[in-house]
Chain A
Amino acid sequence: MNTEKMDLKEKLISSFMAFEESIDVNHELHDVRTSAIKNFENKGFPTKKEEAWKYTSLNSIIKNDYSVFPKHENTIEFKDVKKFFIHEIDTYKVIFVDGKFSSYLSSTTHDGLDVCLMSSALNKPKYKMIIDEYFNKIASKEESLTSLNTAFANEGAYINIPKSKVVEKPIEIIYFSTGKENALMVQPRNLVIVGENAHVQIIERHQSLNENPVLTNAVTEIFAQKRAIVDYYKIQNDMQSANLIDNTYIAQKQQSHASVHTFSFGGNITRNNLNFYHQGEHIESTLKGITIIGDKQHVDHYTLVQHATPNCESHQNYKTILNDSATGVFNGKIFVEKEAQKTDAFQQNNNILLSDKATINAKPQLEIFADDVKCSHGCTIGQLDETAMFYMQQRGIPKKEAKALLMYAFSNEVIESIKIPELKQRITKIIATKLGVNLGFDL
């Protein structure tokens, strides 16, 4: 054990000034970053003593000696990573390799919409007004990991969809880690602005390409303007050595629809902080997830829907299947403010434990201050239905395949609501692979 090794928190704080000198930032951003790093310095990495982190410990992963700024520009060949793309269809692509933009793998645009880089948006004068209006406006200024990201925010995807634009193809955002650094920490920052009546579909993925440890602390801010439709999909099917803290903040204006689907199939420790804020009436928010993990993997879904305005709806549906010694957490908070009458908030969380050693901590948290609302939540923890198993076995389907079909059936409610057919196919394929079955038909 190297005792001289600097603690990750100290390392990040001491890197901050060097980082700021290395980039060309305007004055307002300098203030934002400075207060962000101060907040992180005060709070540090969250520990299990905090209620919000009671079931997820970062201790084991912050011990690694991460490079905070990758030294090299690493390249990868498309053929080697093709399988991580939804390559069956044409998409816009914003691709990063070890935190650096890869123009070779990307397919960006400024033609009628902006699908490009956060670094250009932050630095080019023509984007200044938008950055001033949106950057760090919905992301938490209290939460220490979000602050840490804000302090170092410089690269990621910048997506701006103008009024009434229906984006005809999905946008893929992929962060690859090559493993050429022994241990790498990356902090992507995405900003997505979807104009009035505009419609966009986005697929986000973090993918490491070998077993070297990676710690990703990502922040995504999404603004859905009036009547905008945003469908956001997160694919988390990473290597055993990859850790992800994914912080997503969504602000919705009236009559907008925003949905986030989170598919957690792999990685070491994954924490999803997903926050929805309502800023108008007749808003719909959808939060869905499928988690299928095993070994000692850990996935924590921490959701918040802040109902602040009347006549809005939120739907949450999270399905979890845990095998071996895997641990899962679902903490779903619904906050209904006094003004938010006629709120319709629904939360469902179903969990299946396939092993005696698997653990799930499920905690619905409803705080309701309005008196005329419809809020419901349901949570189940169980094993696979034995009658259903017997039924399928009776028809000649062996136990393993029967189990797989049941798990697929269990996840089906969430799979069904994927709006991109090729993505739906991909997700079902990943599930079939995870379950180790070949059923003779595509699930």
Chain B
Amino acid sequence: MLSIKNLHASVEDKEILKGINLEIKAGEVHAIMGPNGSGKSTLSAVIAGNETYDVTDGSVELEGEDLADLAPEERAHKGVFLSFQYPVEIPGVSVTNFMKTAINETRKANGKEEMPANEMLKLIREKSELLEIDRKFLSRSLNEGFSGGEKKRNEIFQMAMLEPKIAILDETDSGLDIDALKIVANGVNKLKNENNAVLVITHYQRLLDYIVPDYVHVLMNGKIVKSGGKELAYELEKKGYDWIKNEFN
């Protein structure tokens, strides 16, 4: 599904990713853990095509197609979704209207007709129930005045609407209380199937109790330094990142 090879990326000539290799197959859940400043958010931004970063070497492929020359929206149209750590507020544009635009632009790019209004409404109803989102919430301006938890839930709602092939959840657990965390994780788990994949990026193990990964990778100083099964997350939680740092020094 997603194949990252020897990925190097820098911002303003400062190298942040220093040769990342990662294979994610359809149906898998991967987690990337690492201390602050290790390059976790840079990796997610680079996969999504954020032009702030320069890819200096290596490649990112989705189902065998190199994404290098594609704009962020083109990657989105092909099925890349990034749940933001800090979702942006757009005053005056309701959640519903924003989703209509996003979905229809994606369909247009994929040579499909616009989604009929009744179908759209049905989809919105279905997915908002999944994330336990109040209907009134959908007519509010996107993310404006939303609590941290509401913003994250809204991100997963958008993911549910767009049905991406690869969903990257960047620090989705930050700012969530335990109830909201469960709702978000439950939403992700229900959307998960054999044909898509999830990459969870997190500092803490907590979220991985609810979204259980098949593989856990530890990112440090721009490189994946250790990979393992879900038990690696528990080990990290217990021993802290210094344990790995020491192992590699």
Contacts and interface: CB of A to CB of B under 8 A. Distances in A.
A292 interface: no
Given A393-B72, A398-B73, A440-B100, A415 B92 contact: yes
Contact of A395 (B51, B141, B162): B162
Given A395-B158, A396-B106, A413 B88 contact: no
A147 B102 CA distance: 54
A401 interface: yes
Interface in B43-57: 45, 48-52
A394 B91 contact: no
Contacts of A391: 84, 87-88
Query: Chain B interface: which size bin?
Result: 35 or more
A399 B77 CA distance: 13
Contacts of A399: 71, 73
Contact of B100 (A409, A412, A441, A443): A441
Contacts of B86: 387
A397 B73 contact: yes
Interface in B143-169: 158, 162
A439 B88 contact: no
Interface in B71-110: 71-73, 75-77, 80-82, 84, 86-88, 90-93, 97-98, 100-106, 109
A409 B52 contact: no
A412 B92 contact: yes
A120 B114 CA distance: 56
Interface string A380-399: 00000111101111111111
A166 interface: no
A149 to B, nearest CB: 37
A390 B90 CA distance: 13
Contact of B92 (A395, A401, A409): A409
Contact of A397 (B49, B52, B102): B102
Contacts of A334: none
Contact of A405 (B48, B52, B90, B162): B90
Contact of A409 (B91, B101, B102): B91
A405 B76 contact: no
A408 B93 contact: yes
A395 B80 CA distance: 9
A393 B103 CA distance: 12
Contacts of A80: none
A415 B93 CA distance: 12
Nearest to A386: B52
A312 B73 CA distance: 49
A283 B16 CA distance: 57
Nearest to B110: A396
Given A398-B105, A441-B101, A385 B88 contact: yes
A395 B76 contact: yes
Contacts of B98: 395, 405
Contacts of B106: 396
A170 B97 CA distance: 30
Contacts of A413: 91
A169 B165 CA distance: 54
A21 interface: no
B167 to A, nearest CB: 12
Contacts of B71: 393, 398-399
Contacts of A398: 71, 73, 105
A386 B101 CA distance: 19
A276 to B, nearest CB: 27
Contact of A441 (B87, B97, B109): B97
Nearest to A441: B97
Interface residues of A, number: 29
B90 A394 contact: no
A5 B69 CA distance: 60
A397 B92 contact: no
Nearest to B51: A390
Contacts of B72: 390, 393-394
A409 B105 contact: no
A415 B102 CA distance: 23
B83 to A, nearest CB: 9
A416 interface: yes
Contacts of B141: 412
A441 B98 CA distance: 9
A258 to B, nearest CB: 25
A366 interface: no
A406 interface: yes
Contacts of B75: 394
B69 to A, nearest CB: 15
A402 B97 CA distance: 13
A388 B86 CA distance: 10
Given A393-B72, A396-B106, A441-B101, A412 B91 contact: yes
B145 to A, nearest CB: 13
B93 A395 contact: no
B77 A396 contact: yes
Nearest to A387: B88
B112 to A, nearest CB: 12
Given A390-B72, A440-B101, A441-B101, A396 B93 contact: no
Contacts of A406: 90
B101 A405 contact: yes
A406 B162 CA distance: 21
Q: Nearest 7 pairs between A and B by C-beta?
A: A412-B92, A393-B72, A396-B76, A396-B106, A395-B102, A391-B88, A393-B73
Interface of B: 45, 48-52, 71-73, 75-77, 80-82, 84, 86-88, 90-93, 97-98, 100-106, 109, 114, 141, 158, 162
Given A391-B84, A392-B88, A413-B91, 4 more contacts: A394-B75, A396-B106, A440-B100, A440-B114
30 contacts: A385-B88, A386-B52, A390-B45, A390-B51, A390-B52, A390-B72, A392-B88, A393-B72, A394-B80, A394-B84, A395-B98, A395-B162, A396-B73, A397-B101, A397-B102, A397-B105, A399-B73, A402-B73, A405-B90, A405-B98, A409-B90, A409-B93, A411-B92, A416-B92, A439-B97, A439-B101, A440-B100, A440-B101, A440-B104, A441-B100
